[in-house]
Amino acid sequence: MPQASVDLRSDTVTRPTPAMRKAMADAEVGDDVYGEDPTVNALEAAFAERVGKEAALYVPSGTMGNQLALRLLAQPATTVVAPERAHVVIYENGAGGRNAGVQFTSVDDSRGVIDADAVAWAIEAAHHHYPAVSLVCIENTHMPANGACWPLDELRRLRSVTEAARLPIHLDGARLFHAEVATGVPAATMAAEATTVMCCLSKGLAAPVGSMLAGPADVMAAARAERQRLGGGMRQAGIIAAAGLVALESMIDRLADDHVKARLLADAIAERWPDAGLDPAEVLTNVVTWRHPDPGAVLAHLAGEGVAAGTIAPGVLRVVTHVDVDDDGIERARKALATAP
Ligand SMILES: Cc1ncc(COP(=O)(O)O)c(C=O)c1O
């Protein structure tokens, strides 16, 4: 892609900030498999505190964080209830079946949340020849639903259902801080409703690598061993963890800018395609999706204007805002969208 392009394919395409580069160069390191990397240890402690959990683990990717949660909280030959378009269901290449031996009961997520009654139904169904449920996974923000945020009361309603059934919740909070900024509800308040929470440092927060998994101390001790089994034990990982600390300390508040920019893109998209199933008022974070009969033609047109977008399903396009897209880039994208086929 040419240098001048506006890259809206994902918020993973960001480059580390100058402050991150400096922190990485200066990072104190040790062997993290021995638990001796002071920067990784500092990142894990800072994240655990930020999300109000006893302990945290630095992992190479969000996918690994989710997979660890499946391996630790779910049982093989059971089902995991999750939103039908959740990352853990759709976008991890079948990993749940391979790594944790689970199947998914996917429930309607058109509002961006899953209904507590639907989860209660799936749990009750085990008494009627359906598989037993061992875990509920949720996603906040919920990426395919235009980065929708879970209202706290819905989260609490879900929790009361899972608690009654003594089931854990894993919160895929790849973009949990986006939800915090958009709703004003602290990440820790949302995470309190889940057993484990995963957040990505490399999605919108601009760190080059890494995600965090947090939860009770005993679960996280087991997660450390599972991470090693999956080949995710890293040695002088403080080099990259240093950027993660900068991400946590200085890249969260600015997410509000990305949300404003996404709304501007949503306005342009809804104006160009009024029937594309997009209500801009529902775009509260940094992801915008819309339907189109010929996504390839739209992508080609945008690319010709120096704008990169993507697809997330047949007939569904996506743009995502992030720190490396400035006002000029958004204006360029809006103009390109206005003339798209
Ligand atoms: C909601 C959600 N969860 C998990 C992940 C996985 O993160 P990673 O790409 O670091 O494996 C992503 C990645 O885009 C995501 O959007």
Instruction: Tell the residue nearest (CA) to atom 4 of ligand 1.
Output: 62
Kindly state whether residues 305 and 330 are assigned to the same domain: yes
Nearest residue (by CA) to ligand 1, atom 8, is 62
The total domain count for the chain is 2
CA atoms within 13 A on the CB side of 19: 11
Q: Are residues 195 and 97 in the same domain?
A: yes
Instruction: Read off the pTM.
Output: 0.97
| Boundary (domain end) residue, out of 205, 235, 250 | 250
Nearest residue CA, atom 6 of ligand 1? 62
182 and 294 housed in the same domain: no
- Paired strand residues for 212: 58, 199
User: Is 133 a member of any domain?
Assistant: yes
Q: Are residues 277 and 330 in the same domain?
A: yes
Tens digit of pLDDT at every position of the chain (341 positions): 444 589 999 999 999 999 999 999 999 999 999 999 999 999 999 999 999 999 999 999 999 999 999 999 999 999 999 999 999 999 999 999 999 999 999 999 999 999 999 999 999 999 999 999 999 999 999 999 999 999 999 999 999 999 999 999 999 999 999 999 999 999 999 999 999 999 999 999 999 999 999 999 999 999 999 999 999 999 999 999 999 999 999 999 999 999 999 999 999 999 999 999 899 999 999 999 999 999 999 999 999 999 999 999 999 999 999 999 999 999 999 999 999 99
Closest ligand 1 atom, residue 86 Cα = 1
Ligand 1 neighbour 180 (Cβ under 6 A): no
Contacts of 169 (CB under 8 A, 6+ apart): 135, 136, 137, 138, 158, 159, 162, 193, 194, 195
Phi, psi of 63 (to 5 degrees): -60, -45
- Whether the CB of 90 sits within 6 Å of ligand 1: no
Residues 28 and 67 in one domain: yes
Q: Is 311 helix (H, G, I), strand (E, B) or coil?
A: strand
Q: Is 139 in the pocket of ligand 1 (CB under 6 A)?
A: yes
Assigned domain for 244 exists: yes
171 and 218 together in one domain: yes
**Mutate which of 14, 59, 61, 63 to test ligand 1's pocket (most atoms within 8 Å of Cβ)?**
63
Residues 235 and 301 in one domain: no
CATH number of residue 264's parent domain: 3.90.1150.10
Q: Is the CB–ligand 1 distance for residue 318 below 6 Å?
A: no
Q: Are residues 10 and 22 in the same domain?
A: no
Asked if 274 and 235 sit in the same domain, the reply is no
Question: Do 181 and 282 fall within a single domain?
Answer: no
Residue 265 structural domain: 6-14+254-338
Report how far residue 230's alpha carbon sits from residue 137's, in angstroms, rounded to the nearest whole number: 21
